[in-house]
Structure 1
Amino acid sequence: MRASHAYCLFVGSFLTAAGYGATFLLTEHFRALGGSEIETGITLGGAMLGTVIGVPLVGWFAGRFGAARMAALGALSVCAGYLALASLHTLSPVIGGAGFLIGLGWGIFYLAAPMSLSERVTDRERGFWFTRFGAFLMAGIGASPVAAGALTGSLGLSTAMAFCVVAAACVLAALLLWMFENLSPRPAATTPRPSSDGWVRKLPDIARTKAIYPILMVGLGACVFSGVLTFQTSLVRGTGLQASTFFAAYAITVVVSRFVLAPLVSRANGDRATIVLLSVMILGVVVAFALRYGVLIQIASAILLGLGYGLVYAVIQTQAVNDGPAEQRNAALTWFAIAYFLGVFGFPLLGGWLIVTVGTAGFLGAVLAFAIAEMGLALLRLRVPRPLEASFNEPRQTADSR
């Protein structure tokens, strides 16, 4: 794979990720229609259902059709979901269907895009490329709310028009992802094979390896991530703060840290790095309790979350792939994506209800509980005996200790 070809994947991923980042506008969009955070939760609940269907589609068709082409189709589904939301003039059950399309597309893309990258690189290179890929992904998620806020604020566009712009970006993303598949053919060893079809049956085997820990951890971390970002407008309501400030600080932190600090993280012991980064993430949630004290607190929370979650995600994604034998890697990546989606789209159902019924303090308390639970799993991982994974990790020690 040429580096120049990879940027078709990276830019396409950045634009598709902007589709997820734009979900921060959902609450504002529904409030204009007479709704609340409850409707946001319903929409993202539909998205969670969509991902449950989208992820298996990648397992069934990526080997024959091409993972990057599947990612392109996912981007088009995200586009359709936002166009459906933009067409609304009143609240209706359509919001669940629109969320389903967004989740279906994001689920297909989120598994297929890294899969298309993983099958074109070696074990030694995987951490490097996953870190770069993740930087573009997080940059898209973080920059989208800033751009959307500018569209609805400075330019005075409605949220519906902003959703149309997001939909157009997803169409461009689909073109770039399709180009990547054509420009960078898969190695012969990764052409159509049945190994990705049995991902459900492989779960018991995965559960006997260390890969199960990052799979569970990413679900808990996704609850933290989606809680703070999706409901940022609710968290700052009445404080005089702007949600776009948080997103800008978060996006800049993630991009800079992944390019500047990621090499240091990749050379460090993975388990220990995870503990440190999760501690930083937890501190970011704790700081969020004090948002009423001003913009510096908001920026500090964004930076801490960007450093902690932004860097630990790449670490545990690499662990999920490398901690199992070769025949389990696509299955492990599939379960990693499913766990992520259950958190990122499932938690807003609880989060929206918490904000409406018990307020933002109770909501942040739940977010903090999920962050601490993820730390607990990371600590348990340290206690797992080395022989559990030695048989298939031994050949890759050089790559893992870079």
Structure 2
Amino acid sequence: MRPFSAFFVLIGTLLAAGGYGATFFLSMHFRSMGGNDLDTGLALAEATVGTLVGVPLVGWFAQRIGAARTTALAALCIGLGVAGFALIDRMSGLSVFPGFLVGFGWGAFCLAAPMALAERTSDTDRGFWFMRFGTIQMAGIGGCPAAAAFAIRSWHWPLTSVLYLVGGLCALAALMLEVFGRISPHSSASPVQERWLRQIGAISRTRAAYPIVMISLCACVFSGLMTFQMSFVQGTHAQAGTFFSLYAVTVVAARWLLTRVVIRLHRAVATKLLLGIMVLGIAAMSAVPYYTGFHAASAVLLGTGYGLVYPTIQAQAVNDSAAMHRPAALTWFVVAYFVGTFGFPAIGGWVLVHLGKIALIALIAICGLAALMLAIMRDKHDRHSIGPFAGA
């Protein structure tokens, strides 16, 4: 991977990830039109449908047009979806279409982009570039809503203008990713196996099932705290933009400074420690109405715990699978992540509207604790396992 080529893929990733980060403003967008958080959840539920359609098609597209061009088209779909939300100026069923596009694009992007990187990196330096890719991706997810909140609050930009701008930046990302595919030579690599659906039975009989379910629960925590952040801070002196900024900075700093520390720890210990930190972040959010300092603490704890546990349990999902099932395990891992990311807001929105903030935070906490319990159960499975999966 040459630095010149890396510039295009990393900046393209940053901008495309900002398109997903813009969805954290949908709550504000729908409220401005007279809707509520239930409408936000329904729009993101449609994104779940888009994800479930987009992810299986990645292998088909990658075989025919290449993984890099597939990534570029996915970024363009994200941008069209974000701009589509801006076009809607009153409550209607039309929000399902941009929601579908965002989910379709982001789901395809998160699978096709690693494939494009894998084709262009060797075994020795792939880990380095994957870590850089993941860090830049997280920076875009948290940095976009932070910058948008600043523009809305300080420069008095209307939210629709912000959404149009983000949509345009996603189109620029698509162009950069297309250039990356053209200027960066690659080796032929097998795309995602088209039989990944059929392999769920074999995967469920291994310890790989634990991290796959865990990432779905962790994504529920992440999407719950981020999507409804503006509702959580209503009536307090806290600012949602501060949370997004601190989260983005923490994730980048944690991955740059603490990755080697996490790697040195036994993976089972690291997983439980990071999940515990994530749960503390939920607890801190519940205390924000009493002291706003807990708001910053929640962002830092979530950025550290979730930001580092994602690559940790992703490695577990791969390592706990037989070699022939690893592509399918990775695909199921991505699907499970998106079920939590886009599916949870549909439930969370209903809980927030009908039962209130405390009930929603309690539900998010249950998801975090359930992930921690699964990590403990995986370790018990580990101690009673023999053969190639033991001690991974």
Partners of 1:241 and 1:294 within 8 A in 2: no
1:171 aligns to what? Answer: 171
SS where residue 154 of structure 2 aligns? Answer: coil
Q: Does 1:209 align with 2:206?
A: yes
Q: Does 1:370 align with 2:391?
A: no
2:327 aligns to what? Answer: 330
Partners of 2:208 and 2:316 within 8 A in 1: yes
Partners of 1:324 and 1:393 within 8 A in 2: no
Q: Does 1:224 align with 2:221?
A: yes
Counterpart of 1:150 in structure 2: which amino acid?
F
Give runs of aligned pairs for residues 132-143 of structure 1, distance below 5 A: 132-143=132-143
Task: Calculate the TM-score normalised by the size of structure 2.
Answer: 0.94
Residue 120 of structure 1 and its aligned partner are, at CA, apart by 4.0
Q: Does 1:318 align with 2:311?
A: no
Residue 248 of structure 1 and its aligned partner are, at CA, apart by 0.7
Partners of 2:34 and 2:91 within 8 A in 1: yes
Q: Does 1:237 align with 2:241?
A: no
**1:25-50, CA deviations, whole angstroms, 9 ceiling, x for partnerless residues?**
11111111111101101110111110
Give runs of aligned pairs for residues 90-239 of structure 1, distance below 5 A: 90-121=90-121, 125-188=125-188, 190=189, 193=190, 196-239=193-236
In structure 2, stretches of 5+ residues that fail to align are none
Residue 109 of structure 1 and its aligned partner are, at CA, apart by 0.5
- Work out the number of aligned pairs and report it: 392
- Shifted more, 285-294 versus 299-308: the winner is 285-294
Task: Identify the match of residue 273 of structure 1 among 270, 273, 288.
Answer: 270
Residue 324 of structure 1 and its aligned partner are, at CA, apart by 2.4
Tell me how far apart the structure 2 counterparts of residues 76 and 295 of structure 1 sit (CA, whole Å). 38
2:36 aligns to what? Answer: 36
Residue 197 of structure 1 and its aligned partner are, at CA, apart by 1.2
1:65 aligns to what? Answer: 65
1:89 aligns to what? Answer: 89
**1:155-192, CA deviations, whole angstroms, 9 ceiling, x for partnerless residues?**
2121111110110110111122222222333323x1xx
1:194–1:240 CA distance, 2 compared to 1 (3 A): closer
Partners of 1:38 and 1:352 within 8 A in 2: yes
Task: Identify the match of residue 253 of structure 2 among 256, 276, 285.
Answer: 256
Task: Identify the match of residue 287 of structure 2 among 271, 275, 290.
Answer: 290
Residue 122 of structure 1 and its aligned partner are, at CA, apart by 5.3
Partners of 1:323 and 1:389 within 8 A in 2: no
SS where residue 220 of structure 1 aligns? Answer: helix
**1:168-227, CA deviations, whole angstroms, 9 ceiling, x for partnerless residues?**
110111122222222333323x1xx47611111121222233222211111000000000
Counterpart of 2:267 in structure 1: which amino acid?
G
**1:330-369, CA deviations, whole angstroms, 9 ceiling, x for partnerless residues?**
2122111110110000000011111111110000000000
Partners of 1:51 and 1:103 within 8 A in 2: yes
Counterpart of 2:253 in structure 1: which amino acid?
V
Tell me how far apart the structure 1 counterparts of residues 347 and 368 of structure 2 sit (CA, whole Å). 15
1:400 aligns to what? Answer: none
1:323–1:124 CA distance, 2 compared to 1 (3 A): farther
Task: Calculate the TM-score normalised by the size of structure 1.
Answer: 0.92
Partners of 2:383 and 2:390 within 8 A in 1: no
Give runs of aligned pairs for residues 325-364 of structure 1, distance below 5 A: 325-364=322-361
1:27 aligns to what? Answer: 27
Partners of 1:60 and 1:196 within 8 A in 2: no
Counterpart of 2:358 in structure 1: which amino acid?
A
Partners of 1:212 and 1:320 within 8 A in 2: yes
Partners of 1:123 and 1:322 within 8 A in 2: no
Residue 84 of structure 1 and its aligned partner are, at CA, apart by 1.4
Tell me how far apart the structure 2 counterparts of residues 61 and 143 of structure 1 sit (CA, whole Å). 30
State the identity %.
47
Partners of 2:62 and 2:191 within 8 A in 1: no
Residue 389 of structure 1 and its aligned partner are, at CA, apart by 7.8
1:340–1:359 CA distance, 2 compared to 1 (3 A): same
Residue 153 of structure 1 and its aligned partner are, at CA, apart by 1.8
Tell me how far apart the structure 2 counterparts of residues 321 and 7 of structure 1 sit (CA, whole Å). 28
Counterpart of 2:36 in structure 1: which amino acid?
S
Tell me how far apart the structure 2 counterparts of residues 164 and 80 of structure 1 sit (CA, whole Å). 9
Partners of 1:195 and 1:327 within 8 A in 2: no
Partners of 1:126 and 1:318 within 8 A in 2: no
Tell me how far apart the structure 2 counterparts of residues 255 and 306 of structure 1 sit (CA, whole Å). 9
